[in-house]
Structure 1
Amino acid sequence: MRALPLNPAAATEAVPRRPVRWHIAVFLAPAFLIYTAVMIVPLIETLRLSFFRAVDNRQVYVGTANFSKLLTDPLWSHSFWNALVNNSYFLSIHLVVMVPLGIALAALLSLPRLRGATFYRTAIFMPTMLSFVIVGFTWKLILSPLWGIAPHLLNLVGLQNLFGPYLGDEHTALTTLGFISVWQYVGVPMMLMYAAMLSIPEEVMEAAEVDGILGFSQFFRIKLPLLWPTVGLIAILTFVGNFNSFDLVYTTQGVLAGPNYSTDILGTLLYRTFFGAMLQLGDPNMGAAVATAMFTIMLIVVCAYLFIVQRKINRYQF
């Protein structure tokens, strides 16, 4: 047997040192610099602006006065709470309609005997790749009472009484935009759930078939419990995406989010506050306060999901 060296220093020197992999830092540096310049620096600057106010062309630190003004001042609080309520309603449409619909479509398209499943998956996912400008103006044309195709289609089936100025009515405009957004983005939860279903081990399904669990019972008793982590991920991505929404409302209803601000959400409120609109002058400090409020809401919900919901899901999943 070979004797071990008695000198600890000699033993330490005998261990080869790992080479410093500088090439990793070199390859990551461009992405890190771009992300910092485009995301981190604007975020920090927005947070800083929210605590200042322009006085005589100077930025004066005012603490949380901008947030108090946003939440309590009648000139600002009504618009903010109206946008927050509309955003919550817009989100609820996606959670109640889009997520279950995506799960149902994924379950149907995963059936082994379904013909043309690839075509259906492509057709349903295709709208997510369209520009929001195309989607907004296309649906605006379709639902137009003057030259839209929707009234003619309803006339063909004898349902012309159901048509109305959906985007021009305060009571239906936001709901209509919600369903348009569901149509555009339902392919995302569908594909995520479809991929998660394919990852379920065949042994689990074979064992369920041996126990006589088939059809819908197999989906609700075996597949769906295994897919809860993916459902939670879809829900939190839907939440973040909806609270960042701006494009669809802007292209269909304009920067004033008409009619009568019935489709105003936090994204459009932020745009009008920061940059101004029509006769309204922009206020970067109050706009930064709106953006910080949006960031705080999303941060609280995402952290609650990660530290409470996701930990419990991971604890009980296989």
Structure 2
Amino acid sequence: MKTVTVMPSKKKKSWAKWTIHLFPIPALVIYGMFVLYPILAALSYSFFEWKGMSRGDFVGFQNFVTLFTTEPYGSMFWNAFKHNVLYFVLQMVVMNGLALFLAFIIYQKIKGAEFFKAAFFLPRLLSVIVVGFLWKLILNPNFGTLNIILEKIGLESLQRAWLGDPNTALIAIILVNCWFGLGFGVLIFLAGFQSIPAELIEAARLDGAKGFTLLRTIYLPLMVPSITIMGVLTFIQSFEAFELVYAMQGSMGEPYYSTDTLAVFFYRLAFGSSTASGTTAIGLGSALATVLFLFILICTTVFLRFANKKDVQM
């Protein structure tokens, strides 16, 4: 008997072809509802006067002018901006620097490398709120573990109210965030090291390169993509810092606004407690959210273009 092959009709092929284009629709709908709509809504809200939760008259750029020129908003904005810059610098130096070093050590295939990878990444599995609450207990000046350890090893002079001192509160929060995000950086950098062709390393060693020379001439140039990724992610996370600050110090940036960030300042403006009366300023909050979004977008775009040019030249 002859086998008869039934060819699919053109109509069925056409239907199958168009069906494929339907699959992204649910993702696009969710993206539009929870990303695009809030961005556009915040932009529109920033051009109106607000009386509580009721939208008033169109005021143009007045909310932006008020944000930068009227006190206490102007000084609070620049104070929070300064803290976000410090947040970014310390994370780049401490967290990413340490993550790069640890990733390089693990890359050398030391004994127990898999255990160290899991141990470094473990804090990342915890909720930010849980991390903030635990470290708030650890840094407690009366019964906190850190002060107890300092007392046991004879360093009582270093004991202090870590979250109650304006000079140490923000740095303590940033270091906690570095501890929390260290494992993610280790994995990114480790993946970068593992993507370097072994032939290049062997060729460099045959040419006499070793130690710091090998690191400077081979490893670091080829790690530029991974460093770029972590730099961009760190920048975005630093200027959106909210959850950990809120969990450890609340919405007022205590003590004396020394831990205030732009995201925390936005929260006070949009949802109350920006003034002694606790009134909301939705228009000002939306203006701040728009400024923050545009700042992150522009800086990230410029940085990526600069990094891509450097990558091409190398």
Whether contact under 8 Å (1:249, 1:263) holds in the other structure is: yes
Residue 55 of structure 1: how far off its partner (Å): 6.1
Report the Cα distance in structure 1 between the residues aligned to 2:98 and 2:67, rounded to whole angstroms.
37
Matched, 1:22 2:10: no
Name the residue aligned to 1:77.
74
Whether contact under 8 Å (2:141, 2:162) holds in the other structure is: no
Report the Cα distance in structure 2 between the residues aligned to 1:54 and 1:272, rounded to whole angstroms.
15
Residue 59 of structure 1 aligns to a residue whose secondary structure is strand
Name the residue aligned to 1:195.
191
Structure 1 gaps, min length 5: 1-16
Whether contact under 8 Å (2:136, 2:248) holds in the other structure is: yes
Report the Cα distance in structure 1 between the residues aligned to 2:20 and 2:102, rounded to whole angstroms.
42
State TM-score, norm by structure 2: 0.91
* Deviation string, structure 1 residues 231-251 (Cα, Å, up to 9, x no partner): 122111100011111001101
Name the residue aligned to 1:86.
83
Residue 172 of structure 2 aligns to a residue whose secondary structure is helix
Report the Cα distance in structure 2 between the residues aligned to 1:311 and 1:185, rounded to whole angstroms.
25
1:125 pairs, out of 118, 121, 125, with 121
Shift in alpha-carbon separation, 1:316–1:58, aligned structure 2, 3 A: closer
Runs of 4+ in structure 1 over 6 Å off:
17-20
Letter in 2 for 1:295: F
Whether contact under 8 Å (1:229, 1:313) holds in the other structure is: no
Residue 217 of structure 1: how far off its partner (Å): 2.8
Matched, 1:182 2:178: yes
Name the residue aligned to 1:207.
203
Report the Cα distance in structure 2 between the residues aligned to 1:19 and 1:107, rounded to whole angstroms.
52
Residue 157 of structure 1: how far off its partner (Å): 1.7
Report the Cα distance in structure 1 between the residues aligned to 2:24 and 2:311, rounded to whole angstroms.
31
Name the residue aligned to 1:32.
28
Report the Cα distance in structure 1 between the residues aligned to 2:69 and 2:45, rounded to whole angstroms.
19
State TM-score, norm by structure 1: 0.90
* Deviation string, structure 1 residues 67-110 (Cα, Å, up to 9, x no partner): 01000112310111111111111111111211111110110111
1:110 pairs, out of 104, 107, 112, with 107
Report the Cα distance in structure 2 between the residues aligned to 1:272 and 1:55, rounded to whole angstroms.
16
Structure 2 gaps, min length 5: 1-12
Residue 53 of structure 1 aligns to a residue whose secondary structure is strand
Name the residue aligned to 1:7.
none
1:289 pairs, out of 281, 287, 290, with 287
* Deviation string, structure 1 residues 24-69 (Cα, Å, up to 9, x no partner): 2221111110111111111101111111113695432111111010
Residue 186 of structure 1 aligns to a residue whose secondary structure is helix
Between stretches 25-34 and 152-161, larger displacement belongs to 152-161
Whether contact under 8 Å (1:71, 1:80) holds in the other structure is: yes
Shift in alpha-carbon separation, 1:315–1:20, aligned structure 2, 3 A: farther
Residue 18 of structure 1: how far off its partner (Å): 7.9
Residue 60 of structure 1 aligns to a residue whose secondary structure is strand
Report the Cα distance in structure 1 between the residues aligned to 2:57 and 2:126, rounded to whole angstroms.
44
Report the Cα distance in structure 1 between the residues aligned to 2:286 and 2:198, rounded to whole angstroms.
51
Report the Cα distance in structure 2 between the residues aligned to 1:244 and 1:120, rounded to whole angstroms.
29
Report the Cα distance in structure 2 between the residues aligned to 1:235 and 1:159, rounded to whole angstroms.
36
Report the Cα distance in structure 1 between the residues aligned to 2:313 and 2:182, rounded to whole angstroms.
28
Report the Cα distance in structure 1 between the residues aligned to 2:303 and 2:256, rounded to whole angstroms.
35
Aligned residues: 299
Report the Cα distance in structure 1 between the residues aligned to 2:237 and 2:153, rounded to whole angstroms.
36
* Deviation string, structure 1 residues 180-204 (Cα, Å, up to 9, x no partner): 1111101122111100100100110
Report the Cα distance in structure 2 between the residues aligned to 1:24 and 1:279, rounded to whole angstroms.
55
1:157 pairs, out of 153, 158, 176, with 153
Whether contact under 8 Å (1:142, 1:150) holds in the other structure is: yes
Letter in 1 for 2:43: L
